Amino acid sequence: MDRRDFIHSAFGLGTVSLALGANLTGTTQAEPLTTTHPTPQQEEPKMNTDKPILIAADPFAKTLKDAIVAHLNEKGYKVVDLGTPDDLPYYEGAVAACRAIQSGKAERAILLCGTGMGMSVIANRFKGIVASVVESVFAAKMCRAINNANILCLGSMIWGDWMANEAVDAFLNTQFTEGLEPLADYLRDAEKKVSAIRD
């Protein structure tokens, strides 16, 4: 499947009907935009809400981390704050979260540093971890839907508190293949092949 087919399938572009109006089509009124999506073939398992959300940050991102922890607590999540020691370098902040996910103690984590990149580089060295550094709410959603990411990495130099909370919500509330049901088999197969490459 090439990129164009992927995008058309993912966003229903192949089934969109659009009339542009009188100045382009000669009609007097534009017809509404309609999109159809196939019925999902298989529902992905929901996140286990009995397990905590892990969060860790380096000193650059302590303020952002505190804002996200407060937001998650308000939403009723169980949160394990792995702390922000004053001397903790970014390349150590991810280790405890990754090991906890590997051991089954948690399913998702949020890692924060100046750009998010350092945390993601370290986290992705751990087997079974898919850490995505994102710079938009849309990417936070799609890293779950497309890549089945289990760690979200954000940068305090990029994100303000309010939008970071929106990104966290998108990450936690999106399931693998959600909204991409026509591509579900392709995405599941791709996930297995990517995991094999990392092994």
- Give the domains, in start order, of the chain with CATH numbers: 1-37 (no CATH), 53-173 (3.40.1400.10)
pLDDT tens across 34-66, in order? Answer: 334 444 445 444 555 689 999 999 999 999 999
Token pair in block for residue 50: 């009995």
Indicate if the pLDDT at residue 17 is higher than 60: no
CA dist 171 and 60 (Å) reads: 22
Active site residue 143: no
CB 146 within 8 A of CB 140: no
10 Å CB burial of residue 111 (0-12, 13-18, 19+) is: buried
In this structure, the strands spanning 53-57 and 131-133 are unpaired
Q: For the segment 65-96, what is each residue's pLDDT rounded down to a tens digit?
A: 999 999 999 999 999 998 777 777 777 778 99
Give the contacts of 176 (CB within 8 A, at least 6 positions apart). 44, 144, 145, 148, 187, 188, 191
Sequence letter at residue 11: F
Which of 98, 113, 143, 153 is the catalytic position? 113
